[in-house]
Structure 1
Amino acid sequence: MAELRKKAAETPAEPAARSVRVVVLALMITMLLAMLDNLIVGTAMPTIVGDLGGLEHLSWVVTAYTLATAASTPIWGKLGDLYGRKGVFLTSIVIFLIGSVLSGMAQDMGQLIGFRAVQGLGAGGLMVGVMAILGDLVPPRERGRYQGMMAGVMAIAMIGGPLVGGTITDHLGWRWSFYINIPLGAVALAMVTAVLHLPRKERSTARVDYLGAALLTVGITAIVLVTTWGGTEYAWSSAVIMELIALGVASLVGFVFVETKAAEPIMPLHIFRSRNFTLMSVVGFMTGFVMFGAVLFLPLYQQSVQGASATNSGLLLLPMLLAMMIVSLVAGRITTGTGKYKIFPIAGSVLMVGGLLLLATMDTGTSRLTSGVYMAVLGAGMGFLMQITMLVAQNSVELKDMGVASSATTLFRTLGSSFGVAIMGALFTGRVQDEMAARGGAAVTEGSAQLDAASLAKLPDAAREAYEYAVASGTHIAFLVGGSVAVIALVAALFVKEVPLRGAAEPQTPATGPEEAAAGSTGPEDSTGTKPSPPAKASQNA
């Protein structure tokens, strides 16, 4: 009994349910900030270019934000582990809001790109902070319910983002697509400051792993630039792309070497000793690969082939996003009730593969109802996977590594999305151009493979029909490859080890194996199978 009481004392007590709900509301608002931004700004981009000029630099408005977000994600996670999550999280919100204000005040495209990088730097800490704080506040068995709510926020952002962006741009001007972050951010700041109470961390005396952070940043930047520029700005075989690949590989190899020597590594490699954590990283990468590819190509198919309006582009994804939100909430509830989760990544991977293969069968005669059913199947699969991957990853590490686990999982999903958009986009564009060369004539193939509605309406009937066929063919190959890649997620999910999640009131039982140790709040065992000593008991913040 004494041993059980000691173990229970080492686990942070669950906050009052009411306080948790208020904090979760603040976290959801913050997550909404990060999710909405690119969607709103994307809708406003034509107006921004018309006002500021600099069309040739248009892609950098998005690229600068994405690069800063991806590169800073693991750094924010580690800083939270070292110096306390609340202060680091509040700092990321403030930086994001500063970047938003400056972006809204930009007078030329160069300023906007620089300020978007500042905004992305803050955004890197938002998602990581939300997930890591949730991991600190809520016991593992209860966490699925709240993470299901986070998936709902993601779906709402994807549906509402383009609509909100279009409305703001039309009635208030494009600068308000950035200023809209201020009231939401202010509410989140006030709520987090007032109600969030986490165990106080003693200031770490360990030296920050600056070299590891620099190498990881260079490596991530090179990867994102390769996937962003490859096949668009530069040919895949061009010297620039080859140099970026070499730089990325060299940086990441150097990063791994540095991490084995650092006293306090920016991303401790020992977290990958946990089988479940490594498998969830693979599943998260594949989910990002599939999800953002689908978000890119489904509206394009519906607009070009099915004649849907681009104005309500967010609504085109409604079947997929609603299915994702509902399934995620249900999976979270079941996880909370049973403490078990292995069935969800398996079921999710099966549905994801099935949905992609169904989408690959779409042609010029596919109805909106049929495509909507296919999208719902894909959305249900992603609903099973989106938050379960984070939940299992967090429970495969020690509490002291909660931040780096959350940031690593987020990073793998982000990199997966970059690869998905690049690979599926290259295949789509190549197929469209090939089909148009055979059917529609050179006049179209010399232009973009993605024509807007106005350009499409100006084409002769024969050319337009050829283009519709080409888009359907491009969609087919993109989703076929996506389905094939998603099989990797299914294989990884099959090897996940089922460990019932510990509930708030349950004492931790002695671990009997590698992943059983991860089920407790004190984390997994080391590579020898020996459970490490629990972290020092933290004093509670008043």
Structure 2
Amino acid sequence: MASSSSPAPAALTESGMTHRQVLEALSGLLLGMFVSMLASTVVSTSLPVIIHDLGGDQAAFTWVVTATLLTTAISTPVWGKLADLVNRKLLFQLAIGIFVVATAAAGFAQNPEWLIAMRAVQGLGAGGLAALSQVIMADIISPRERGRYMGLFGAVMALATIGGPLVGGLITDSLGWRWNFYVALPFAIAALIIVQRTLHLKPFTARKVSIDYVGIILLSTAVSLLLIWVTLAGDSFDWWSIPTLLMVGGAIVAAALFILVELRSREPLVPLSMFRNRTFTLAVLASIATGIAMFGASVFLSQYMQLARGATPTQAGLMTIPMIGGLLVASVGVGQLITRFGHWKPYLIGGGVSLIAGSWLLTTIHYDTNFALVSVYMFLLGAGVGMTMQNLVLIVQNTTEPTKIGVASSGVTFFRSLGGSIGVSVMGAALASQVTDLLGGRKADITAALATLGDQAPTWAQQLQSGSLPQVSAMPDALRVIFEDVYAQGISHSFLILVPFAIMSLIAIVFLPNVPLTRMTNRERLEAGEADLATVSVSEGMDTLTATAASPVDSDRHRHSDESRAASRPESPR
């Protein structure tokens, strides 16, 4: 008989691991995601200063952000496909390495072109971190349990997103903006070590690797041409012109060829058969608006704080805390509620409503809008992102065959990043066009303001004519009021682009099939499916007899097997 003083065994989760073991396995993933977010957010509040110092314009500002989003979007399905074929732990470590090397190289930028190029390479690593973290989570945690752990990811994202702008602003104001690109290096080294020591995954059955290189090239071509056209049209050339015809036509042809290649490929980059799953299709539509909201808000709210309210980088970081607070509260709170009660749809609908409200209200902001109101608007937008972003991936994983978890998870992330990159490009183009038009209508006011500056007038006139992004906080009061008003109107106008996508997201969420969350991990579902194939010849009568005499453990195993078949079964059309 065991001694009464023996310690009680640690409670197991339904994945067969203790809570501590799960946290240990997730620690490296969480730190890797923290590195990715931190390296991006520390420069968000500093970008206006960086682009000003490097002599870039609004187009360069937009492309510094878009380049990362574009390569993240394009590389995400590649990483997802690799995750279904080769060692996932090694891939995750490789993604961290690529991301950090590119981030450090960006710190040596002497012109906008080098910065944009390194940010593009940075996106390759970010795509891997985003896709692989979701896939690896599915290996060790069941969808029903995953809610509370998704909340941890939300908390890490919120911590990096809150702390990043604050740290970045302080570094820029005290040491210089280049140090922003080096702050993630020690965290990255720690993440590599922790992943190596704590993450232990059972290997899948080895099979021949086949990468769809043609699909990668065609997808890259189609998306790149589209984004370049959106950025340059109306500025470098007319909307209706030969360059427009060539770029848009080329994007359409590349997209059509991509679809044909995917239909014929043995290992397609984006399996089009996934769109037969209604959950996947609707989640993709909903995730597009989430991507635009998340990336667009982080980029243009930072500009609003500095260019429309005259804030320093440090102050801008502090002023965007309400949005991140909304994301943190919603992500962690909703994750806990989903795990506790098992219901996910009401929270996603609430997130869609919050996304619409926040994006619409941000179209009403001016340079002198009461900051308490702006904070409420940002909180609503952040809460909408927090309730929808991770949970859209969760419900797709819940209904996807275990062997396709990688491409399904990365598929949702891909379209979220793609939506974000296109959305940021369109919002940036709208902002640049609106600012140009508004400044043209304020020429008389600008001339009158310059006339009051005396000997400083020629210097400021030359800076305004250079076309580079202005540093509004350093302007004399007479000029600053004009530019704050112009940029506030331009930024609020750009948020109009987000509203219809937010409405589309809510409609897609409403029609998502309300499939219960399974209590099995991806590994258990795969093993249960294999067991079903091995016993398929057993008669129905013997199944009934066995089920009657089964022990509680066997009954639970049968329940898991039933859940596996239900989760892997294609959805019937409704």
| Offset, 1:305 | 4.4
| Offset, 1:443 | 5.2
Q: How many residues are aligned here?
A: 509
1:70 and 1:220 in contact (8 A); partners too: no
Question: Alpha carbons of 1:13 and 1:141: their partners in 2 closer, same or farther (altered >3 Å)?
Answer: closer
Question: Alpha carbons of 1:42 and 1:510: their partners in 2 closer, same or farther (altered >3 Å)?
Answer: closer
The residue type equivalent to 2:340 in the other structure is G
Larger Cα-atom Rg: 2
The residue type equivalent to 2:569 in the other structure is E
**Residues in 2 aligned to 1:297 and 1:138: alpha-carbon distance in whole angstroms:** 36
Matched ranges for 1:304-323 at <5 A? 304-323=307-326
Deviates more, 1:337-346 or 1:174-183: 174-183
Question: Alpha carbons of 1:298 and 1:522: their partners in 2 closer, same or farther (altered >3 Å)?
Answer: same
**Residues in 2 aligned to 1:481 and 1:113: alpha-carbon distance in whole angstroms:** 24
1:198 partner SS: coil
The residue type equivalent to 2:26 in the other structure is V
TM-score (norm 1): 0.83
| Residue number in structure 1 paired with 2:533 | none
| Residue number in structure 2 paired with 1:259 | 262
| Residue number in structure 2 paired with 1:453 | 472
**Residues in 2 aligned to 1:348 and 1:324: alpha-carbon distance in whole angstroms:** 10
| Offset, 1:228 | 4.2
**Residues in 1 aligned to 2:430 and 2:60: alpha-carbon distance in whole angstroms:** 23
| Residue number in structure 2 paired with 1:485 | 501
Unaligned runs of 5+ in 1: 1-10, 512-516, 530-542
| Residue number in structure 1 paired with 2:403 | 400
| Offset, 1:146 | 1.4
| Residue number in structure 1 paired with 2:339 | 336
| Offset, 1:279 | 0.7
| Residue number in structure 2 paired with 1:156 | 159
Instruction: Choose which of 19, 23, 26 in structure 2 pairs with 1:21.
Output: 23
| Offset, 1:110 | 6.7
| Offset, 1:46 | 7.6
Instruction: Choose which of 40, 43, 50 in structure 1 pairs with 2:42.
Output: 40
| Residue number in structure 2 paired with 1:201 | 204
| Offset, 1:416 | 1.4
2:44 and 2:299 in contact (8 A); partners too: no
| Offset, 1:209 | 2.1
**Residues in 1 aligned to 2:323 and 2:121: alpha-carbon distance in whole angstroms:** 32
| Offset, 1:353 | 0.9
**Residues in 1 aligned to 2:427 and 2:329: alpha-carbon distance in whole angstroms:** 27
| Offset, 1:385 | 1.0
| Offset, 1:45 | 6.0
| Offset, 1:384 | 1.2
Question: Alpha carbons of 1:171 and 1:379: their partners in 2 closer, same or farther (altered >3 Å)?
Answer: closer
1:26 partner SS: helix
Q: Deviations over 1:444-477 (max 9, x none)?
A: 897769643246x3363xx654544434433443
Q: Deviations over 1:257-276 (max 9, x none)?
A: 11111112122112111111
* Percentage of identical aligned residues: 37
Q: Deviations over 1:148-176 (max 9, x none)?
A: 22222222222222332344456666554
| Offset, 1:363 | 3.6
The residue type equivalent to 2:507 in the other structure is V
Aligned: 1:386 with 2:389: yes
**Residues in 1 aligned to 2:400 and 2:18: alpha-carbon distance in whole angstroms:** 25
2:15 and 2:141 in contact (8 A); partners too: no
Question: Alpha carbons of 1:345 and 1:27: their partners in 2 closer, same or farther (altered >3 Å)?
Answer: same
The residue type equivalent to 1:452 in the other structure is Q
| Residue number in structure 2 paired with 1:8 | none
Matched ranges for 1:435-454 at <5 A? 435-441=438-444, 451-454=470-473
The residue type equivalent to 1:415 in the other structure is L
**Residues in 2 aligned to 1:357 and 1:43: alpha-carbon distance in whole angstroms:** 23
**Residues in 2 aligned to 1:441 and 1:406: alpha-carbon distance in whole angstroms:** 54
Instruction: Choose which of 417, 421, 442 in structure 2 pairs with 1:418.
Output: 421
**Residues in 1 aligned to 2:112 and 2:429: alpha-carbon distance in whole angstroms:** 27
Deviates more, 1:498-507 or 1:366-375: 498-507
Aligned: 1:524 with 2:568: yes
The residue type equivalent to 1:353 in the other structure is I
The residue type equivalent to 1:33 in the other structure is V
Question: Alpha carbons of 1:217 and 1:396: their partners in 2 closer, same or farther (altered >3 Å)?
Answer: farther
1:228 and 1:418 in contact (8 A); partners too: no
